[in-house]
A and B are shown apart, each in its own frame.
Chain A
Amino acid sequence: MQHGPRVQPGAARLQSCAVQVYVVHRLLLFVPTLLGASLLIFVLMRLVPGDIAQILVYQTGSEQSSVQEKQIKQIRTELGLDKPVLVQYVTWLGNAVRLDFGESYSQRRPVRDILLERFPRSMELAVLTMGLAMLWAIPLGVISAVRQNTWLDYGVRVLSISGLSLPIFFTGVLILYLLVRVFRYLPPLEYSALTENPVENLKQMIWPALAQAYYISAPIMRLTRSQMLEVVRQDYVRTAFAKGLSDRAVIYRHALRNSLLPVVTFIGWWGGRLLGGIVIMEIIFAVPGMGTALVQAVSYRDYPTVQAIVFVMALIFLAVNLIVDLLYGWLDPRIRLA
């Protein structure tokens, strides 16, 4: 999934006016993209065969078959599923603007409650994952670049690729299995809020975060390495070396700071992406987050819930990217504006 920062070191320095235009431009794009994404998932969900009325009635399969037809119609009317799809979308959108996401078909409670309850947990997991990944990925990336083409470099690169090589569900299951088998330890099965019981919370969250961080760290490590290599080759770093500054000083004072910019962009991009990726981790480690809610909602064709969760995921993704882009433009005005 290549979507690195679009960096053009040679581009002309922009004036502050252009930066403002850029910011406005980006903000204007934000809304239509969000709408487009929500329409996309809306249409996609309507293409999925079966609706919740059929599922609820046929799943039970106890009523006489002549009654079943009647009940399906009844539920559809009740939920407004008998209206044209476009009308449904417009209604949904109209309410969503007022932050009213309707009632969940499968949970029979406001979708807003589901979002408020689940969203912070998934965010926590995503932030924790990203933090852990950066903690070891960036130093290893630097080492790898500084000792380019040595066995140390190869070792670090192999380690990083190995993280990509196992499907994350398997890493998760393996962690769980080894904890029980070797240490007879199982992380808490009951969710505790970070604000109420931070220790219990972290005891549960650390493992899915580790499993996922192992996977995520690979691209971060590789990007850090290549950025470092690029920066090290640039004139001012060579000059610094030539002036006789120590290796360490050059690396930290000059090279690292400059090479971290694209890494930050990339991390922002991945950070938004993570919200979707933790679905699997949440299932394995029994974390009641947005991912598990989403999987359940998709399988029950709970349109309002799916719609709202995906909407928020897209919102976060776009917002994080917007912030990162703006931050980036502010830190390094040489970027070419799209």
Chain B
Amino acid sequence: MRNHRLFIVAVVMVMIAGVAAGGFAQQDKPRYGGILNWFDYGDPARLDVHAESPLVVQQATSGVYSGLLHRDPDDPTKIAPDLAERYTVSADGKTYTFHLRKGVKWHDGQPFTSADVKATFDRVLNPDFKSPKCGATLKPLVAGTEIVDPHTFQVRLKAPAPEPFLGAVASAWCRIAAKHVLEKFGDLNKPEAQIGTGPFKFKKYERGSVIEWEKNKDYFIPGLPYLDGVKQFILTGGPTQLAAAKAGRIHLWDTWPPMGKAPSEELKAARGSEIDVYRWPINTIWIVFLNTTKPPFDNPDMRRAVHLALNRQELITKALDGAGVPCAMLDPKLVGEAALPLAELERMPGCRTGAGKEQDIAEAEKLVKKHHPNGIDIEMAFRQVGNYSDRSQLVAAQLRRIGIRGTLKSHESAAGFAAFGKGDFTLLTSQDRAMDSTDPGDPFSLIWTTQGGSNYGKWSDPKLDELADRALKETDRAKRAKLYHDLQRMFMSGAPSALPVGWVEGWFFTDKKVRGYKPASTAYDNITFMKVWLAP
């Protein structure tokens, strides 16, 4: 009884404190002016947001453009209107009508109309145009587009698919470009072609060194943005990035690669109370790929053995300092109910810990012995980036226990993709795949289906494909979640080729002066800084 009362008192106090803090935060009035500094981990070189896929391209251009919809800067988990004031859906769920804002101007002063939206959609939907992010998602969904009037635009879908479609339209990769700019330049690669409707204008691109945006004084939301500009240093060396953070030269770190635990602690020691350091999921899954077209992993038993033997918990603890969700195919934090509950997952062979894991390993050893009584020597490939080499060494050590002896083979970063895409590997120890949205269908379409663009192991299971397709098209949320649960159970109890090690998290920081910044669940979204301001 007394405990209860204490509990209630505590809750009330917390609530009061929360309201007070919230109220206080609201009183904290945004301040105008200042330049926000951060960094790009590479030189983007090409700036065409429709044709490219690296994060740096998004970093370089995101504040320049607007989308029809976007991730709400105040709560990036939600989709909010941007250039479209609102949209309506037809009764059959197949026609979306977007009502566009009036009086919006491109950075060069030209008026924005539905012709620009049409030009953008035509561009990314063109079957001959390589659009790896926006186009790749929209092409399978969209049947046709139409200009209704200068401020109304319609999209017809092949079948109702509200979540994937709206997710794509709100994604940072589907931002709207100007018709006259596309006509003039042919593409959006050049700095001069960076003409958008966004809160910032593209000011300067000193290649290999710095990218600058300046405030768009005619931005369609009055009073925004707060910042005078944004500056991105191009820093490719790991030690250089950390030095820039320690010296207080950058305001935030929200980019790939995330910091490890040790650098984040060093940073905290160097900057103390000036910064907030936090752990954050990066919507990225670490996969071990097995090549099903080559021995030994053309044999399901051998694949099953690796699946059972991998100790995901240890991999995450040691290689990622514990920052990750081991074994999950879908991360509940990101996709919600569609993810198999972690408690159930932990009981499944391959994901168990303790005595259960020992059983799994014994079983795996038996499977390997059945086909290779003396064990087997294979090559284990990885790209030499981030901490992939650390991870690879741990994977190799774990598999050695069941008689799979690996020699590590590292590839240069970019070249690795060429080799893996061609299927030129036996086992891939560490490959991260970042998602473009938090839709549970994403990782399946990319990795775990026959046609998946990152299905490096060339794995094919028609039954799973069919189920994944059904799940993708299911419009009822609860039913959809159930289908994904079935998919995950089926996958984890079989002999798959793309084994999830876990969802990756990392450490980031923001300077305490930076206000109004909310990291989104993908690194691509909500980096327009439209509502961000700098405290004195």
- A and B are interacting partners: yes
Task: Give how many A residues have a beta carbon under 8 Å from the other chain's beta carbons.
Answer: 52
CA distance A292 to B206 in the complex (A): 14
Chain B residue with the shortest CB-CB distance to A118: B208
A143 within 8 A of B: no
Query: What residues of A have a CB within 8 angstroms of the CB of B450 in the complex?
Result: 65
A258 within 8 A of B: no
B45 within 8 A of A: yes
Query: What residues of B have a CB within 8 angstroms of the CB of A285 in the complex?
Result: 240
CA distance A286 to B428 in the complex (A): 32
B433 within 8 A of A: yes
- Check A286–B209 contact: CB distance below 8 A: yes
**Closest Cβ of chain A: how far from B458's Cβ, in Å?**
8
Of B208, B239, B249, B418, which is within 8 A of A284 by CB? B239
Residues 104-115 of chain A: 1 if any B CB is under 8 Å from the residue's CB, otherwise 0?
A: 001111000010
Query: What residues of A have a CB within 8 angstroms of the CB of B209 in the complex?
Result: 189-191, 286-288
Q: Which of A185-224 contact B (CB under 8 A)?
A: 185-186, 189-191
With known contacts A286-B209, A293-B208, A62–B239 Cβ distance under 8 A: no
Of B46, B136, B244, which is within 8 A of A106 by CB? B46
CA distance A191 to B128 in the complex (A): 39
Chain B residue with the shortest CB-CB distance to A176: B243
Residues 58-72 of chain A: 1 if any B CB is under 8 Å from the residue's CB, otherwise 0?
A: 111111111010010
Among the 9-residue stretches B340-348, B397-405, B408-416, B501-509, the one with 4 or more Cβ atoms under 8 Å from chain A is: B408-416
- Check A108–B240 contact: CB distance below 8 A: no
Apart from the given pairs A54-B417, A60-B133, A301-B415, 14 other A-B contacts in the complex at a CB distance below 8 Å: A50-B414, A50-B418, A62-B446, A62-B453, A65-B450, A68-B421, A71-B130, A106-B46, A180-B243, A189-B244, A284-B237, A286-B236, A288-B206, A299-B413
- Check B240–A191 contact: CB distance below 8 A: no
Identify the interface centre among A60, A65, A186: most chain B CB within 10 Å of its CB. A60
Of A64, A173, A191, A296, which is within 8 A of B210 by CB? A191
Q: Can you list 11 A-B pairs with a CB-CB distance of less than 8 A? A: A58-B420, A59-B54, A60-B132, A61-B454, A108-B46, A177-B243, A186-B243, A186-B249, A191-B210, A283-B236, A286-B235
Residues 120-157 of chain B: 1 if any A CB is under 8 Å from the residue's CB, otherwise 0?
A: 00000000101011001100000000000000000000
**Closest Cβ of chain B: how far from A132's Cβ, in Å?**
21
Q: Which of B433-480 contact A (CB under 8 A)?
A: 433, 436, 446, 450-455
CA distance A64 to B465 in the complex (A): 13
Residues 288-320 of chain B: 1 if any A CB is under 8 Å from the residue's CB, otherwise 0?
A: 000000000000000000000000000000000
Query: What residues of A have a CB within 8 angstroms of the CB of B235 in the complex?
Result: 189, 286
B53 within 8 A of A: yes
B2 within 8 A of A: no
With known contacts A59-B53, A191-B209, A184–B247 Cβ distance under 8 A: yes
Query: What residues of B have a CB within 8 angstroms of the CB of A75 in the complex?
Result: 130
Of A74, A176, A292, A300, which is within 8 A of B239 by CB? A176
Chain B residue with the shortest CB-CB distance to A190: B210
B5 within 8 A of A: no
- Check A65–B243 contact: CB distance below 8 A: no
